[in-house]
Amino acid sequence: MNRRDRHCVDRRDVGLLLLRLGTGGVLAAHGAQKLLGWFGGGGIEGTGQAMEAMGYAPGRASATAAGLAEAGGGTLLALGLATPAAGAAAAGAMAGAAAVHAPNGFFAQAGGYEYAVSLGLTAAGLAVSGPGRFSLDHLLGHAVNRNWMVPAALAVTAAATTVVVGARNRRVQRAAEGQQEPLFD
């Protein structure tokens, strides 16, 4: 690599910056709806009630956790700081959202999980790929973006998401069983 190459803008770094800013910004706004009621969101109270209705209990705690994962993870992704943890947290929140939308099929037009999966996979991809040179992680010498942090963050998030979504699915199934029509009159 010659001296000129070290100072050239690498298109991959620009691409990662665009992905981080776009995905992180959308996630941060989505989380701000839950936490603060911004952008037409329900805030903690309204989102907590909605989370309870979706099977996530307790609702207020679920709203807080989802809001923090989205707003915090999204902000950190946009900044390119603690990228493995930020991407994993956002991906976990989006897996929880996808579980709610799964009965409606894939496409968002029909209320499906397309949007949540797109955001979650992009966040996970950024956790794996890293933030690129135009990031706080790079500026800070990757102190909170070490290679070992990627599988650790993804594994912890996957385990927590499995527990939370599994409990939610059991609640939804029990509620549906209680609402079945009688087989015989």
- pLDDT at residue 2, rounded to an integer: 47
Non-local CB neighbours of 136 within 8 Å, separated by 6+ positions: 79, 80, 81
Condensed to tens digits (0 to 9), the pLDDT of residues 129-144 reads 999 999 999 999 999 9
Q: In the predicted model, what is the mean pLDDT of residues 18-24?
A: 98
* DSSP, residue by residue, 91-110: HHHHHHHHHHHGGG-S-GGG
Q: In the predicted model, what is the mean pLDDT of residues 104-132?
A: 97
- What is the token pair recorded at 93? 């929140």
CA 9 to CA 133: how far, in whole Å?
Answer: 9
Report the candidate in 81, 106, 102 with the shortest Cα–Cα distance to residue 28: 81
- pLDDT at residue 7, rounded to an integer: 67
Condensed to tens digits (0 to 9), the pLDDT of residues 31-67 reads 999 999 999 999 999 999 999 999 999 999 999 999 9
Condensed to tens digits (0 to 9), the pLDDT of residues 60-98 reads 999 999 999 999 999 999 999 999 999 999 999 999 999
- pLDDT at residue 5, rounded to an integer: 53
Contact between residue 87 and residue 123 where contact means Cβ atoms under 8 Å apart? yes
Q: In the predicted model, what is the mean pLDDT of residues 119-130?
A: 98
- pLDDT at residue 9, rounded to an integer: 80
Mean pLDDT of the chain: 93
63 burial via Cβ count (<10 Å: 0-12, 13-18, 19+): buried
- pLDDT at residue 23, rounded to an integer: 98
pLDDT-derived band at 182 (thresholds 50, 70, 90) equals low
pLDDT-derived band at 4 (thresholds 50, 70, 90) equals very low
